[in-house]
Structure 1
Amino acid sequence: MIVLGPDRATVEVLVFREGLLSAVGHDLVLRVTAFELAIDPAAPSVVARLDPASLRVASAVRDGRPLPGALRPRDVAEIEDAIASAVLRVRRFPELRFESTAVAPREGGWDVRGALALAGVTRPLMVPVRRAGERVLAAARLHQPDFGIAPYRAMLGALRVKPDVEVRLSAPAEGL
C-alpha cells in the first residue's frame, strides 16, 4: 500500500470565470492542502480522501499564466471563505472521497473508474491517469451542478464561475 499526502503529491482545482464582467475577474488555481491518497498496486485500487476546508488559493491565472500579486490578501481570504461556506459547505460535508471500483491499464497509464462523494452527492467518475517521467498525472472535469453545487456568482451574476472545474493530481510514480 502506498499512502501519499501533500508532502509528496499535489491536488489542484482549476476554476474558470464567465459572465459579462469576466474580464475583471481571474481564473484561479486552488490547492488542496490536506488529503490522503491510498494506492494499492496489487489490487489495484485507489482511495482518495480530501479535506475541502483545506482548499487554498494558489494563484490567479490569466490565459494559463499565473499572475503573482493579482489578488490582495483580503481577496484571497474572501474567496477561500466563499468556497468553504457557500460553495462546498464544508461544515456540513467535511470530506470529499473518491474510491475506485475498477482500474484498467491502457497505453501510458490507467483508466480509473470509481465513485466520487462531494457535497453529499455520490456520482460515478472515470479518471485517466498517465505516467510522465517520475510522476503520474491525473485530470478530471467535474460539473458542479451534478453534485448539487451552485457555481459561485457575484455582482448579480455578471461575474460567475463556470459550472465545470478541472481537478488535477500529480504524484510520484514510484511503486506503480
Structure 2
Amino acid sequence: MATYGPDAARCVVLTFREGVLAGVGHDLALRVTRLEVTVEGETVSARVDASSLRVVTAMHEGRPAPNELRAGDKADIEATIRRSVLRADRFPEIRFSSTAVAKRGDGYELTGQLAIAGVTREVTLPVQREGDRLVTEVRLHQPDFGIRPHRALMGTLRVRADVVVRASVPCPKAAG
C-alpha cells in the first residue's frame, strides 16, 4: 500500500470563462493543497479537502498569465469556490474510490465513484505514465454534480460548465 499526500500527489483544476464579457474574466489554474491518494494493489482512493483549492494563476490562451490577478482577486475567487461553488462548509470532502481497473495500451482505465458537493457519479479515468508519474486528466461537467457554474455581471460573464481536472502520483517503484 502507498499513500501520497500533497507533497507527492498533485491535482490541478482548470476553469474556463465564457459569455459576452468573457474578455474581462480569466481562465484559471487552481491547485488542490490538501489531498490524500491511497493505492493498494489495483484499488485507488482519494480524498480532497474541498476548501483547499488555491488559485495558482490566471491563464491566457492556455498559458500561465501570472500578473493578471492581484492577491485580493485570488482570495475572492478562492472564497467563492469554497462558499458558492463547492459549498465546502456543507460538503467538506471530495472523494474518489475505484471499482475497477483495466489495462489499456500503455496505460490504464480506472473506473470508480466520485463524490463532489453531495452528489456521487461513476467516472472513468484514463491513466498514463508521464516520466516518473502516473497521470490522469478528465473533463467534469459541474451540473452532473449539482454545481451551478459561477456567474457574474448578470450572467454576461460565467465559468464554463466543464472543468478539466489533472491529477498525478509518483509511479510505484519496481520490486528489485
TM-score (norm 1): 0.96
1:92: Cα distance to partner? 0.2
The gaps in structure 1 that reach 5 residues or longer are none
Match of 1:15 in 2: 15
Match of 1:114 in 2: 112
Which secondary structure state, in structure 1, belongs to the residue aligned with residue 51 of structure 2?
A: helix
1:67: Cα distance to partner? 0.6
How many residue pairs are counted as aligned between the two chains? 174
Residues 1:27 and 2:31 aligned together: no
Match of 1:5 in 2: 5
Residues 1:99 and 2:97 aligned together: yes
Post-superposition Cα deviations, 1:61-93, rounded to whole Å, max 9, x if no partner, equal: 010110112101111011000000011100000
Match of 1:78 in 2: 76
RMSD after superposition: 0.9
Which secondary structure state, in structure 2, belongs to the residue aligned with residue 146 of structure 1?
A: helix
1:175: Cα distance to partner? 3.3
1:5: Cα distance to partner? 1.2
Match of 1:55 in 2: 53
Residues 1:128 and 2:126 aligned together: yes
Task: Give structure 1 regions of 4+ aligned residues with deviation exceeding 2 angstroms.
Answer: none
Q: Aligned letter for 2:25?
A: G
Partner Cα separation in structure 2 for residue 170 and residue 115 of structure 1? 18
Match of 2:162 in 1: 164
The gaps in structure 2 that reach 5 residues or longer are none
TM-score (norm 2): 0.96
Partner Cα separation in structure 2 for residue 87 and residue 175 of structure 1? 38
Which secondary structure state, in structure 1, belongs to the residue aligned with residue 69 of structure 2?
A: coil
Identical-residue share of aligned pairs (%): 53
Which secondary structure state, in structure 1, belongs to the residue aligned with residue 14 of structure 2?
A: strand
1:125: Cα distance to partner? 0.3
